[in-house]
A and B are shown apart, each in its own frame.
Chain A
């Protein structure tokens, strides 16, 4: 744990965070009383079996959804007080995402997919930055190719470049190697941590891959919506 930085304020904090959904058989508890604080620059892995609530927690922490109860702070803002549009504005340019299924826009080229968040954030040097990040992930030769023409590993590298291109304060990654074979997955993980280290970004990732979780500074394990304290490192 690199807590040497002086008195860092947590960039993500959850207090008594619960998520319940109404189903035909009554209320289903997905998350229950999650307490969490992530400091700037920290890397955190959220692990757990399928259906343990990992992705739900990630969605809540990133402000993509509203919790049923509990308090949630993101980048110093109380998310409970913000509506969906206000949360979106908070995300713009400050949060990056990496998804299991890459989520590149099929009509755009590799370069344009990286360009998209930069343009949205209104960066004046959007094109230069996009080219720079395309180079960082080693795909300059593929700039004009559309996602269909790229392999899964290449698509995820583009997605990594897209996530880091805006210099976000936090990057959320949801099973970033879930759709990749072991070799490719390992290379993506190397790249992810390399980019993260050089950008000093806070990284919160969801995975059930122990090797990946082990590379994070901290890890919480979810069992049926509860944080399993014993497994937390």
Chain B
């Protein structure tokens, strides 16, 4: 029989062994979490970028003032549209509208909803209207005094209004200064004869497809575009959602990483115990003539078999879990989600085998180098030098693995560094805590005293166990905290009465009436911000582009007109970072948003020149200001001091919260103020909330894995001490201790261990949370008093229960039988 077959034979015979089970369990948990995050991350990322794509209408959008005829080769789905402004007329009434001539494929991503009446949710339909028809924005109807079904004139063509656009992709992109939208058929555009040479037109080219061809296409396309042409990816679609993506990505990576590391810890402990229990076997086999190479084959085959089995089961569980989650969180999206990729399977399998090899190699090295003399004299070989090398090798393999899984070197560096430091700190803390336990032990009596004495007598074991329990609890707590803080901070930013409509284009003479209307209907609205559009052209007298390195010149703030406002009051959600808020100062002073200041290299004291219509206006930067872009309030890059822009033609903008039961006032508003555009933000908020729901669901599932991995560590450490415990229990029972006494002393030992671990974990979690909140997620700092109650309780329960389940049989076995089993 070959040693490979012998290995399998022995493995089958030993499959009931505790350490094999723990090893397999830990492996399944570790691989399961990696696979789940892999599958889920892959699908979620795609689902999320689909959300982003929904905003954009495509995975990739190219806009150009001229038609683009030459494209790099690609296999993507495409759609093209032409956007231009034109008058729409009905009888005497006419209105400037933004027309979009679309083909049948538009939009490639997201959806267009068409309603029969204004402010109704409508149905998902192709954006391309039937021949001879158009779809219009609700705000256009009162302006033209028209209803759905009426006919309107565009250029030389007459069209029937076939429906109202209730939702369309790209709604966020052009919130400001938007003329009402009209969809018409691309093949009917020429007949209107609206477009003449020199007309201002945007050619919009949409692309959708798999990430790889998209990236290749995007890379090939970029160099061919000039400064008037723009390329937008779906991930860049919306600022607010982008932040959520980044956090979600990080969070999911972090969780997988920790589950994997905990599993590795459990595997390492189990592998160590396995080796300890198999020195005799290895020595015996060597006596019978097995060489080191043959033993290596034997144990490698066993490990590989377990590794493959555990990894495959883990992958299967991962595939199942992510499907369950997808169905739970994204019921309508689950069917649309991309099929399971093969890449995550590979990642999970390799992770499992690497983790197993890395964690068990040192133990295995000792095992195959055992001296055959051990059969005569029970002595352990010292850890050979090669094992230290193998620890280093497997350590770096694991590190590489973690970096590979997480895919973010900085995150991994921060995390692994923190973890290594933490292990050291935990070891010291555990030692200190045990010293504290000594004081308690002196005051106690009976089984409690005995249980605590157990903890203290096996000080090294207890330190390792305490360290491991603490780590598991701490990490779970940390993730729960990050999760709740992440969600809370988002919810805090978005109160239930967050604005859900923007009122755009409020003429100066209407402002008082609008304010009165809103007050009359008890609607909460932001201040009305006057708004003029202007282009930033120079800085301190020189053209602004010339002051920037070439790669920074393609900046959206330079490319398009900015919305400029003036106010004496610093808007809510804004904070001055440098300089002084201008207040009621009547000089030519402005306040600039910090991101824009950073990108354009602007500082307090710089003078900026703006082109507004045919006028040039210069102003000194008085302050740099942070803006919460996801606050759903009107936000501005540049705010002037009052008095500078008063003479310019300005319309105002405001945001307002309209409760669902009051949506009925909107048609009245539109009728009363026909020139004002009402933009619904509800859909945007719902989208962002959907993204968060996905993230939260994913995280809850992953926390389950993490807890399981923590339990595996608990059980593995306890199994490692089981032989010694059994010996002591037998001795005690032989000396007359009753079962209840043994049980009580075990419980007191584990509960004390769990309580201590919980307290240590609370302290660690608070400190780490403070660091992470500030460094990684940029969230405000806060303390969590409830943690100090929950963690010790959870620790006592968790450790107590798993301790009891793992060791309970040692109180049940009659002493004689135990003695024989130990023989």
Contacts and interface: CB of A to CB of B under 8 A. Distances in A.
Interface of A: 55, 58-59, 62, 64-65, 84-85, 88-95, 97, 99, 101, 103, 105, 107-108, 112, 116-117, 119-122, 126, 148, 152, 174
Contacts of A64: 286-287, 371-373, 375-376
Nearest to A62: B287
A68 to B, nearest CB: 14
Which 8 pairs, one residue from A and one from B, show the smallest C-beta to C-beta distance? A92-B289, A119-B1, A85-B291, A107-B13, A91-B289, A107-B14, A64-B372, A64-B373
A95 B371 CA distance: 17
Given A103-B284, A105-B284, A120-B1, A112 B289 contact: no
B31 to A, nearest CB: 26
B173 to A, nearest CB: 68
A92 B285 CA distance: 9
Interface in B432-485: none
B293 A92 contact: no
16 contacts: A59-B373, A85-B292, A85-B293, A88-B290, A91-B287, A91-B288, A95-B289, A97-B288, A103-B284, A107-B17, A117-B289, A119-B6, A120-B285, A120-B288, A148-B820, A174-B375
A88 B283 CA distance: 11
A42 B627 CA distance: 97
Interface string B789-810: 0000000000000000000000
B376 A92 contact: no
Contact of B821 (A93, A126, A148): A148
Nearest to B821: A148
Given A107-B13, A148-B820, A116 B377 contact: no
B494 interface: no
A55 B372 contact: no
B376 A88 contact: no
Overall SS of chain B's interface: helix
Contacts of B820: 148
Contacts of A84: 292, 372
Contacts of B17: 107
A92 B290 contact: yes
Contacts of A65: 371, 373
B136 to A, nearest CB: 79
A158 B821 CA distance: 18
A58 B293 contact: no
B280 interface: yes
Contacts of A55: 376-377
A146 to B, nearest CB: 9
B289 A122 contact: no
Interface string B1-34: 1000010011001100100000000000000000
A112 B13 contact: yes
B289 A93 contact: yes
A55 to B, nearest CB: 5
A62 B286 CA distance: 12
Given A148-B820, A148-B821, 4 more contacts: A59-B376, A90-B289, A105-B13, A112-B13
A121 B289 contact: yes
A63 to B, nearest CB: 8
B281 interface: yes
B819 to A, nearest CB: 12
A174 B6 CA distance: 26
Contacts of A174: 375-376
A99 B375 contact: yes
Interface string B268-291: 000000000000110011111111
A96 B641 CA distance: 100
B764 to A, nearest CB: 41
A120 B290 contact: yes
Nearest to A94: B289
A88 B372 contact: yes
Given A55-B377, A105-B284, A112-B13, A126 B292 contact: no
B809 to A, nearest CB: 14
Contacts of B284: 103, 105
B288 to A, nearest CB: 5
Nearest to A116: B288
A146 B288 CA distance: 20
A148 B817 CA distance: 10
Nearest to A87: B372
Quick one: which of B6, B291, B293 has the most chain A CB within 10 A? Answer: B291
A85 B369 CA distance: 10
Contacts of B14: 107
Nearest to B13: A107
A59 B376 CA distance: 7
A101 B376 CA distance: 9
Quick one: which of B288, B371, B375 has the most chain A CB within 10 A? Answer: B288
Quick one: which of B289, B292, B293, B372 has the most chain A CB within 10 A? Answer: B289
Quick one: which of B17, B373, B820 has the most chain A CB within 10 A? Answer: B373
Contact of A88 (B281, B286, B821): B286
Quick one: which of A58, A103, A122, A152 has the most chain B CB within 10 A? Answer: A103
